[in-house]
Amino acid sequence: MGVDIIFKIAAIGILTAITGQILKKSDRDEMATLTTLAGLVIVLMMVIDMISRLFDTIKSLFSLY
């Protein structure tokens, strides 16, 4: 649970933005939307995994069953 996750998410965000623009310039707009969606799904997977781990620790910590 280090700081590197934040860097990873930011890097994926910027990469998807750049690839989207490149694909748009070479007039493949549908590919651009697909890459942005793919980037978003990857980032969502990472964040959802972090959220589920956080909720599990909170559940065990406060015995919130």
Partner 1 sequence: MDIFKICAIGLLAAVLALTVKQYKPEIALLISAGAAIIILFIVADYIFEAVTVLSALSEKAGVNSDLLSAVLKIIGVGYIAEFSAGVCEDSGNKSIGDKITFAAKIIILIAALPMLTAVIDIITQMTV
Contact residues toward partner 1 (CB under 8 A) are: 1-3, 5-7, 9-10, 12-14, 16-17, 36, 39-40, 43-44, 46-47, 50-51, 54-55, 57-59, 61-64
Cβ-based nearer residue to partner 1, 28 or 59? 59
> With 0-12 CB in 10 A as exposed, 13-18 as middle and 19+ as buried, what is 9?
middle
Minimum distance of partner 1 from residue 25's CB (angstroms): 15
Per DSSP, 34 falls in state H
- Kindly state the smallest distance separating residue 2's Cβ from partner 1, in Å: 8
Which residues neighbour 40 within 8 Å (Cβ) at sequence distance 6 or greater? 16
